[in-house]
Amino acid sequence: MEILSLLADGMLLSLQPLNILLILVGVTLGLFIGAMPGLGSVNGVAILLPITFLVPPSGAIIFLAAIYYGAMYGGAISSITLGIPGASTAVATTFDGKPLARQGRASLALVTAALASFAGGTVANILFTAFAPVLATLALSFGPPEIFALMLLAFATFVGLGGDDIPKTVFSICFGLVLGAIGFDQISGAPRLVLFDINGFLQGIGFLVLAIGVYGIGEMLWTIEMTRGEVTTSTPKLSMKGMASDAKEATRRGWKGTTIGSFLGFFVGILPAAGATPGSLMSYGVAKMVSRNPENFGRGNPDGVAAPEAANNSASTGSMLPMLTLGIPGSPTTAILLGGMVIWGLVPGPRLFTDETEFVWGLIGSFYISNVAALLINLSFIPLFIWMLRMPFTILAPMIFVLSIAGGYAATRDMFDIWLMVIFGIGAFFLRKFDYPLAPAVLAIVLGPIAEPTLRQSLLLSSGDPMIFFTRPIAGPITVIALILIFLPALKLLRRAPARQGAAE
Amino acid sequence: MRNGEIITAGVLALLSIYFMWKSAELPIGYIEGKGPGGGAWPFWLSAVMLVSCGMIALNWWRRTSPPSQSEEPALDEYGWRMLLLVGGGIVVFVALVNVISMYGAIMAFLLYYIRYLGRHSWALTFAIAIPVPILFFFFFEGAMRITMPSGMPFTDPVFNILYEIIY
């Protein structure tokens, strides 16, 4: 009961006129920043951080949290309408969001993403409110072996997502992981894999360079070549009645993915260093696995949009939990929020809930209000995003290329990265022609820098004994499930080969 | 497609070997008290890439993958032309960034694509190619405070006017 009264106080605080205004402005700004390829919540929060010194700390964090929410909703927009994931958390949304848009059902995809994000955010808020201290302790029991096991599980999901050509999927995963290792060795600090001794590689290769190269350039070239420049999307229609029927269809066909994403995303999100990317990917994989028609995934299944979108929103709220309760940021954006809190004179950690009750519950209350605001603002802007798709492809295509190059530069501020992006784009075009799945590489470049140090720390803990991943109570089951997921498709393939030979004889 | 599949696998195998060789500049084994060496992670992953290339080649030989069963060319005349015109256009666009600025390059690329490749009218071409870079300028430089490359010194007079407006 005490929690409910504190939450009510927090909601009242966030419903004050100034705070409501901050939420509306923050969500709208976040939505557009998140929808821009190359820019995400981290840019929005970082750029607008100085503005928050003009308002009290509770208003400031509410504003930043609203930007964070808006950007998480916005990430789906570029994934669906342009086919370019603006952030790693929205890569899985492209798998079914882009095919739906190509079929002229962008409105269904956008409505599904908005509703799933809302559901994910709501579930996460409730879990956050009710179980914050308990979950923070649980998250702390995840050491390096457990985090590595979780990463292994994420890689295992890739194998399931990559279709029948397992060697190409494995190649793609390892390629992404190796690209993620370029730059400096995180432990010794020695330069590593400085390709052709070009100094530009010393700074490593960022996720966006590969993602924009693959999706913004490579996929676009492939689409132009395959369709002979005549991209035939049925003209997306939009009316209030149509949106209402899309909402009904989204609820009917996306509830399973939404449920999976909401819970799985939250639990992955609260783990320090894991975050929303593995959460959204795992949710997509699990939704596909439990579906009666897994073959529909990747061809425009609303469940395939709902699962990652519910998960990334849920995980974003979840990642606030270790930040507030333990002072450990779960993502780059929460790291900036943490920095802001320190500047405002607040000390994140276990005592924050007792020492700064008004601030903490004001923030939690604003999560609920921001979530509702983000849903309404997002739905009201869907006609604008759909209008974009009505452009002739010979105008849309150069706009996508321009957005990719300008957005890529905005994120990295380095022309070397832009040239790499172009090289990756042309390389991705050829690999796509020969059926290499590229999403695993894009996601692996994000997860590699988390997986490698945890593997090395784990092996150091066990003096080089890999059994550490099997003998610990949490890591053990996760590792076993991951290995089953990796080897099951391989076994299926081996069993199918002799059967095919037998049939041929 | 069949020839392309094996050539691609060969190129990727060579890339894997190069990655292995570069990774081996740091220790790739287990160092007592220090854990795996700095090169171990990329070295062994590159080794798995190499093995995967071997399996792709095996599948090519067994004709089990769709591209290995197809005798069509990977890229026909249209494909090569498209790659040259669109891919080449992007390369020129990026090359122009340091000459006529990001915004100038955007304008030139939009003019080229919409008018020459898209065959739209001059009116529509100008209606898009001129306002888009201006909007981008106010969004990136004004709102987001992100400075884009401004090209060679001859573009300064234009940028001075624009900076006067936003600062």
pLDDT by residue (tens digit) across A29-56? 888 888 876 667 776 777 677 667 677 8
Task: Locate A321 and state its tokens.
Answer: 């939990």
A191 three-class SS: strand
CB atoms within 10 A of CB A137: 11
For chain A positions 452-491, those within 8 Å of chain B (CB to CB) are 452, 455-457, 459-460, 464
Is residue A384 predicted with pLDDT exceeding 60?
A: yes
Tell me the average pLDDT across A281-310. 88
What is the C-alpha to C-alpha distance for residues A305 and A303, in angstroms, rounded to an integer? 5
pLDDT of residue B108: 96
How would you class A54 by CB atoms within 10 Å of its CB: exposed for 0-12, middle for 13-18, buried for 19 or more?
exposed
Is residue A504 predicted with pLDDT exceeding 80?
A: no
pLDDT of residue A382: 85
For residue A398, give the nearest of B26, B110, B119 by CB distance. B110
Is residue A7 predicted with pLDDT exceeding 60?
A: yes
Tell me the average pLDDT across A223-241. 67
The values of phi and psi at residue B33, to 5°, are 80, -10
Is residue A503 predicted with pLDDT exceeding 50?
A: no
pLDDT of residue A421: 93
pLDDT of residue A310: 94
Q: CB-based contact (8 Å) between A426 and chain B?
A: yes
**A136 vs A244, residue with greater confidence:** A244
What is the C-alpha to C-alpha distance for residues A455 and A485, in angstroms, rounded to an integer? 19
> Model confidence at A505, in pLDDT bands (50, 70, 90)?
very low
Q: CB-based contact (8 Å) between A424 and chain B?
A: no
Tell me the average pLDDT across A121-133. 86
A473 three-class SS: coil
> Model confidence at B128, in pLDDT bands (50, 70, 90)?
very high
Residues of B in contact with A67 (CB under 8 A): none
Tell me the average pLDDT across B2-24. 94
Is residue B142 predicted with pLDDT exceeding 80?
A: yes
> Model confidence at A119, in pLDDT bands (50, 70, 90)?
very high
- The C-alpha of A387 sits at a distance from chain B's nearest C-alpha, in angstroms, of 16
Region of A108 on the Ramachandran plot (φ > 0 left; ψ -120 to 50 alpha; else beta): alpha
pLDDT of residue A492: 66
**Cα–Cα distances in Å, from A492 out to A74, A386, A481, A484, A496?**
39, 42, 16, 12, 6
For chain A positions 146-185, those within 8 Å of chain B (CB to CB) are 165, 167-168, 170-171, 174-175, 177-178, 181-182, 185
Is residue B73 predicted with pLDDT exceeding 90?
A: no
How high is the mean pLDDT of chain A?
Answer: 83
Q: CB-based contact (8 Å) between A195 and chain B?
A: yes
**A318 vs A352, residue with greater confidence:** A318
Pairing assessment for the beta strands A183-184 and A191-192 based on DSSP bridges: antiparallel
**A133 vs A75, residue with greater confidence:** A75
> Model confidence at B25, in pLDDT bands (50, 70, 90)?
very high
Task: Locate A84 and state its tokens.
Answer: 């370019």
Say if the Cβ atoms of B83 and A221 lie within 8 Å: yes
Residue B155 near residue B103, CB atoms below 8 Å = no
What is the C-alpha to C-alpha distance for residues A115 and A121, in angstroms, rounded to an integer? 10
Say if the Cβ atoms of A435 and B26 lie within 8 Å: no
- Chain A residue with CA closest to B49: the answer is A171
Say if the Cβ atoms of A434 and B98 lie within 8 Å: no
Is residue B64 predicted with pLDDT exceeding 80?
A: yes
> Does the pTM of the predicted model rise above 0.90?
no
What is the C-alpha to C-alpha distance for residues B107 and A299, in angstroms, rounded to an integer? 36
Residue A124 near residue A253, CB atoms below 8 Å = no
pLDDT of residue A398: 92
Residue A318 near residue A268, CB atoms below 8 Å = yes
